[in-house]
Amino acid sequence: MKLLKEYAIQSGAIAIIACAVFFFLIPSHTSVSSIAGLAIILANFIPLSVATIVMIFNMALLVLALFLCGKDFFLKTTYASILLPIFLYVLERIFPNFTSLTNDPILDVSCHIFLVSIGLAILFNRNASSGGLDIIGKILNKYFNLDIGKSMSLVGMCIALSSAFVYDSKTVVLSVLGTYLNGMVLDHFIFGQSLKRRVCIVSKKEEEVRKFIVEKLHSGATIYEAIGAYSMEIKREIITIVDKSEYQKLITFLKKTDPEAFITIYKVSDIHYVPKTQKY
């Protein structure tokens, strides 16, 4: 049942990506950070459909996925790589003469970026991808510690610039900008959902704050001694890392319990630690 649910979610993500490519990327004639973008360009020179070209490239890149990204990623990506061109093929048959929903390349690219980023974020968060350039992005992320969005933008720029061989300068610029924005939006969807905050608190109600963090939020905290530069008083600073819902509860509690508390807040995109339950 769990496996069925996993593949159902993955299929839904692939359906979103396929719709983004067919209804918005292809009509815009741009090459925004994807094998589909490269396929659109090559379709002008070779007698193959976009779906067929996507399938060929995906099969070649899957070999890299197997050896460099592990079996789990390979199997999930293989499923997605086969399903994506099938979805595209079905859409091509259902809408054989489709042109554009918006009749505006800029709107098409914007809609594509939004939709495809949602689909890719779902896949990457489940250790999968839609194949193609996503595999290269995953490899760069794994071995060079680059964010997925930055990796995709780096690779996608090469394809975006290649559109100069087929389209005019406006389309090339739109492809490059679209690729860059696609990377930013993708990182937002991937990391924005797991973004945490590092909250540093100096409060007269230190013990109440500590108990609230540990007992109500069920979170951890670290307490440091700090010396104020003006008064030279020794004070204690509580530092904790919380998610979005915990952050809202903590700030509400602090405003109510100690409105004069000194609070600094930092965004935290990633944490590496061993949970207490795994230490014994």
Integer-rounded Cα Rg, in Å, for the chain is 24
- How confident is the prediction along the chain (280 residues), in pLDDT tens digits per residue? 777 888 888 899 999 989 988 898 888 766 666 676 677 778 878 888 877 887 788 778 888 888 888 888 888 888 887 888 889 889 988 988 888 888 888 888 888 888 888 888 888 878 888 777 778 878 887 788 777 777 777 777 777 777 667 667 777 777 777 777 777 777 777 666 567 889 999 999 999 999 999 999 988 899 999 888 888 888 899 999 988 888 889 999 999 999 999 999 988 866 766 665 544 4
Q: Rounded CA gap, 49 and 273, in Å?
A: 48
Instruction: Identify the three-state secondary structure at position 184.
Output: helix
How far, CA to CA in Å, does 37 sit from each of 20, 49, 59, 89, 246? Answer: 12, 13, 17, 16, 41
- Can you give the pTM of this predicted structure? 0.64
List the strands of the sheet with 234-242, edge to edge: 222-227, 234-242, 196-202, 262-268
Q: Rounded CA gap, 219 and 271, in Å?
A: 14
Locate 250 and state its tokens: 């903590």
